[in-house]
Chain A
Amino acid sequence: GAVVSQHPSRVICKSGTSVKIECRSLDFQATTMFWYRQFPKQSLMLMATSNEGSKATYEQGVEKDKFLINHASLTLSTLTVTSAHPEDSSFYICSARTGSYNEQFFGPGTRLTVL
């Protein structure tokens, strides 16, 4: 149980385009989902917290207009990187938390490369 999937696993795009990453909780309902980014050999940096049906809460320094988050259902959250630039290239990981427990279960990550 507690499986979280992400799609796509890898994406390469041109500078200026937008990329959407999906995060799904497969066997549980996620009241809260989190989006992280991870640079090589570094730890996870929280970007934003999203609760189903409400606006995401962004961490300091994360541009909400650039990283659009939608949490339309209890099993799906999406992160859209708008007008992507090479410096947005990173490993993006989502996690999901149930209402009953405090553990966060992570997706397999999406590697974004912006040319």
Chain B
Amino acid sequence: QKEVEQDPGPLSVPEGAIVSLNCTYSNSAFQYFMWYRQYSRKGPELLMYTYSSGNKEDGRFTAQVDKSSKYISLFIRDSQPSDSATYLCAMFGGNEKLTFGTGTRLTIIP
């Protein structure tokens, strides 16, 4: 079993829809949770960074962490074609190494 599970998609939604991206994990030591956006042939760009359980909102993006369920989510409101990318969840605990999900390929259809 992988430490971090993420549905690879692809996921296609119409412009303006709410997008929900999720990851589950098995390592209870993970405390820091991140979402990265990666455009094709580019490096990952940090979108959201949260510590422990709770919600964090930044513009159209909301990150949720539920440590009791070992489940994290990223919501994108009013999705735009420019949001089309691969979204990677990542997390780490006591050590400094990030463990990534496989990434979800998202396409926003105009």
**A residues adjacent to B (C-beta < 8 A):** 2, 4, 6, 32, 34, 41-44, 46, 49, 91, 93, 95, 97, 102-109, 111
Contacts and interface: CB of A to CB of B under 8 A. Distances in A.
Nearest to B32: A102
A50 to B, nearest CB: 11
Interface in B6-65: 8, 32, 34, 36, 41-46, 49
Main secondary structure of the interface of B (DSSP, over half): loop
> Sorted from nearest, which 7 A-B pairs have the closest CB atoms?
A106-B43, A109-B43, A108-B43, A43-B100, A106-B44, A43-B102, A93-B43
Report the interface size class on chain B. Answer: 20 to 34
A74 B48 CA distance: 25
Interface in B65-86: none
Interface of B: 8, 32, 34, 36, 41-46, 49, 88, 92, 96-98, 100-103
A34 B103 CA distance: 19
Contacts of A91: 41
B41 to A, nearest CB: 7
A88 to B, nearest CB: 18
Given A34-B98, A97-B96, 13 more contacts: A32-B96, A43-B88, A43-B100, A43-B103, A44-B100, A49-B96, A102-B96, A104-B46, A106-B43, A106-B44, A108-B42, A108-B43, A111-B41
A102 B95 CA distance: 11
B29 to A, nearest CB: 14
A104 B96 CA distance: 10
Contact of A102 (B36, B44, B92): B92
Contacts of A95: 43
25 contacts: A4-B43, A6-B43, A32-B96, A43-B88, A43-B101, A43-B103, A44-B44, A44-B88, A46-B97, A49-B97, A91-B41, A93-B43, A95-B43, A97-B96, A102-B92, A102-B96, A103-B34, A103-B46, A103-B49, A104-B46, A106-B43, A106-B44, A106-B46, A107-B43, A109-B41
